[in-house]
Amino acid sequence: MSQAILTRFEAARSVVRDAAALAMKMRPAPGGPKGTQKSAQDWLTETDGAVEAFISERIGTLFPEDGFQGEEEGRTRTGSLRWVVDPIDGTSNYARGRNRWCISLGLMDGDTPVAGIIEAPMLGETYTAVKGHGAFLNGERIHASPVTDPASSLIEMGWSNRVPPGVFQEKIDAILNLGAMPRSGGSGAIALAEVACGRQDGYLEIRINLWDVAAALVLLDEAGAKVSPFLRDGGLEDGIHILAAAPGIADALSQAVGVSLK
């Protein structure tokens, strides 16, 4: 990996840390959701815009030649190296004062994810990865789960109002039929990171966007997880499905939910 990417990664760690401090300062107290409801269970808070603007400005000052893409403002700058940010992943959790949310910042070289940082400040956890250099949680090397029996596995599935009625239940039933334990936690980036570190054995979401996964794709690859071809199949430009799984159950889970892996 080039020194230019490693230099950017180290600088971005500081930027994300400061952005997380801003998000913590602005976080709502526990209770009813505080924010704007864009559609069913799809929330926008003041913090989303503030954190994205903060990261965009800092990255733009440090690396003015780089592209930048955020969930809220879209592509605001172009460059062969492109930063992709989800300022608050898990906004429905954040808006209620819950802990399971994060800031996700990925770096792409053309169409290839090369570095990622996922910071979950309320959990005290920072996931980092650079292509070819391994994946880490709070500085400790991580690997996908060694589980090989689907009946011993824990599988998370993300919910989205953009998915046709019945699809969520159909896929959850398929997971249950494997004997796996299903759950849904409200943050796709954290869920994918937890597949990378072996806390869970799979994650499925039927419609998810680049900013949700740009950082996690590097983590998953470096941790040895199996992942569906998200970028190849259209994820660069639109929301599509993603499946990530521990190698030992990947084929069984892929067949059960009808999503092909690489």
Query: Is 89 within any annotated ligand binding site?
Result: yes
For the entire predicted model, the pTM comes to: 0.94
Q: Which of 45, 47, 91, 128 is catalytic?
A: 91
Q: Are 69 and 84 in contact (CB under 8 A)?
A: yes
* Residue 188 and residue 81 share a domain: no
Query: What is the average pLDDT across 95-104?
Result: 94
* Residue 197 and residue 101 share a domain: no
Band (pLDDT 50/70/90 cuts) for residue 39 is very low
Q: Which of 55, 59, 88, 240 is catalytic?
A: 88
pLDDT of residue 41: 47
Where residue 87 sits, what CATH number does that domain have?
A: 3.30.540.10
Query: What is the average pLDDT across 24-53?
Result: 73
Q: Evaluate if residue 208 carries a pLDDT over 50.
A: yes
Q: Are 99 and 122 in contact (CB under 8 A)?
A: yes
Query: Is 195 contained in some domain?
Result: yes
Q: Provide the mean pLDDT of the chain.
A: 93
Number of structural domains the chain divides into: 2
Query: Is 108 contained in some domain?
Result: yes
**Residue 45 annotated in active site:** no
**Residue 71 annotated in active site:** yes
Rg value, the chain, Cα: 17
Query: Is 88 within any annotated ligand binding site?
Result: yes
List, for residues 104-136, the tens digit of each pLDDT value.
999 999 999 999 999 999 999 999 999 999 999
* Residue 134 and residue 32 share a domain: yes
Query: What is the average pLDDT across 194-200?
Result: 98
User: In the chain, pLDDT over 70 holds for what percent of residues?
Assistant: 94
Q: Evaluate if residue 82 carries a pLDDT over 50.
A: yes
Pick from 120, 141, 162: which residue ends a domain? Answer: 141
* Residue 204 and residue 125 share a domain: no
136: its two tokens = 């880490």
**Residue 173 annotated in active site:** no
Query: Is 187 contained in some domain?
Result: yes
Query: Is 203 contained in some domain?
Result: yes
Query: Is 204 contained in some domain?
Result: yes
* Residue 134 and residue 13 share a domain: yes
Q: Which of 48, 52, 66, 89 is catalytic?
A: 89
Which residues neighbour 86 within 8 Å (Cβ) at sequence distance 6 or greater? 70, 71, 103, 104, 189, 211, 212
* Residue 117 and residue 18 share a domain: yes
* Residue 121 and residue 83 share a domain: yes
Q: Is 144 helix (H, G, I), strand (E, B) or coil?
A: coil
Query: Is 262 contained in some domain?
Result: no
Where residue 232 sits, what CATH number does that domain have?
A: 3.40.190.80
Query: Is 13 contained in some domain?
Result: yes
* Residue 82 and residue 194 share a domain: no
**Residue 91 annotated in active site:** yes
pLDDT of residue 40: 45
Q: Which of 66, 86, 119, 222 is catalytic?
A: 86
- Domain containing 76: what range? 3-141
**Residue 89 annotated in active site:** yes
User: In the chain, pLDDT over 90 holds for what percent of residues?
Assistant: 84
Band (pLDDT 50/70/90 cuts) for residue 162 is confident
**Residue 86 annotated in active site:** yes
* Residue 99 and residue 160 share a domain: no
First CA to last CA across the chain, in angstroms? 23
Query: Is 71 within any annotated ligand binding site?
Result: yes
Pick from 141, 163, 179: which residue ends a domain? Answer: 141
Query: Is 106 contained in some domain?
Result: yes
* Residue 120 and residue 31 share a domain: yes
Query: Is 18 within any annotated ligand binding site?
Result: no
Query: What is the average pLDDT across 72-93?
Result: 93
134: its two tokens = 């391994």
Query: Is 119 within any annotated ligand binding site?
Result: no
Q: Which of 48, 71, 72, 194 is catalytic?
A: 71
Q: Which of 205, 212, 221, 222 is catalytic?
A: 212
Q: Is 192 helix (H, G, I), strand (E, B) or coil?
A: helix
Pick from 119, 141, 163: which residue ends a domain? Answer: 141
* Residue 212 and residue 94 share a domain: no
Lowest pLDDT segment from 30-39, 134-143, 148-157, 220-229: 30-39
* Residue 120 and residue 233 share a domain: no
